[in-house]
Structure 1
């Protein structure tokens, strides 16, 4: 929902930083892998109780997630790069709710499981739509040039990061925030299925 708005503000500084990384000879895939590693360290920090450190690391991970694409555009985008980017995103998105479940299983395990279910369903609807869009040569640049067809929704990357930040800033409220964001994600899943019915049916 907020991705297209935030891109206009975030892209210019990220593009400038990407130009420096290209000058230093740092490749996009290297940044993608580093982003996943930093994000998983953030999850470990959260699970260990160092929630604010986890917040810093997850934000650094998401900076890498934006940076790798900008680097790829300035060099040579590859299918492998697009594959690693989306797969590692899903690993990261699953790791943070899991970390909060480990941090406080009694309070957080069920809300985290519900959120992960909606992530799973939403991710499947996203990737399946992208495959059929490619098959039918349907294209869009609403999220910039991407390796996959990006369908919009109520819960996108920006909203996910906002929810994760709220988890870290207000860990005692994790169940409430998780259920609320799970509802947004489920709505996005349902809307995407309806879009598929209208597009492919």
Structure 2
């Protein structure tokens, strides 16, 4: 829901940073790997109770996630780079709730499991829709060049980042945040399935 507006807001500063990295010889896949490593460090920090450090690392990880595509546009984009970007994003989104579950299993394990279930179902709906959309030649340029067709929803990358940041700032709220965001994610999943029914029910 917020991703399109956020993209317009950060596109220019990200572009300037990406141009500097490209001139320095940094490759997009290196930025992607750095984003994953930083995201896993964020999850480890959260699991250890260092929530503010986790917050900083979460933000740095998502900065790298935004930069890798911009660097690729200024160097050489590849299918492998797009693949790694998607896979590493899913790893990050699973690692952070796991970190909160490990930080306080008694309070956070069940909410984290519910959130991860919602992420799993929503991820499946997203990937399946993208495959079918590409098969039919559908495109979405509103979000800039992407490796997959992106559909909008209540729970997207911007909302997920906001939820993670809020949980890092107020760790005691994680159960409530997890349940609320799982509900938003479930609504996104159901709405995408409905969109798929409307879009794909007629033979191509």
TM-score (ref. length: structure 1): 0.99
* Partner Cα separation in structure 2 for residue 167 and residue 150 of structure 1: 26
Structure 2 stretches lacking a partner, 5+ long? none
SS in 1 for 2:196: helix
Q: How does 1:46-65 map to 2 (within 5 A)?
A: 46-65=46-65
Q: Which residue of structure 1 lines up, in the alignment, with residue 15 of structure 2? A: 15
* Partner Cα separation in structure 1 for residue 141 and residue 188 of structure 2: 19
Q: How many residues align?
A: 201
CA shift, 1:6, in A, is 1.1
* Partner Cα separation in structure 2 for residue 91 and residue 82 of structure 1: 14
Q: 4+ residue stretches of structure 1 with deviation over 2 A?
A: none
Q: Which residue of structure 1 lines up, in the alignment, with residue 123 of structure 2? A: 123
Q: Which residue of structure 2 lines up, in the alignment, with residue 97 of structure 1? A: 97
CA deviation vs aligned residue, 1:53-81 (integer Å, no higher than 9, x gap): 01000100000000000001111211001
* Partner Cα separation in structure 2 for residue 193 and residue 76 of structure 1: 34
CA deviation vs aligned residue, 1:145-195 (integer Å, no higher than 9, x gap): 101000111000000000000110010010001100000000000000000
Q: CA RMSD in A?
A: 0.5
Q: Which residue of structure 1 lines up, in the alignment, with residue 75 of structure 2? A: 75
CA shift, 1:9, in A, is 1.0
Structure 1 stretches lacking a partner, 5+ long? none
Q: How does 1:149-188 map to 2 (within 5 A)?
A: 149-188=149-188
CA deviation vs aligned residue, 1:43-102 (integer Å, no higher than 9, x gap): 000000111001000100000000000001111211001100010000000000000000
* Partner Cα separation in structure 2 for residue 38 and residue 146 of structure 1: 22
* Partner Cα separation in structure 2 for residue 134 and residue 76 of structure 1: 22
Q: Which residue of structure 1 lines up, in the alignment, with residue 144 of structure 2? A: 144
TM-score (ref. length: structure 2): 0.98
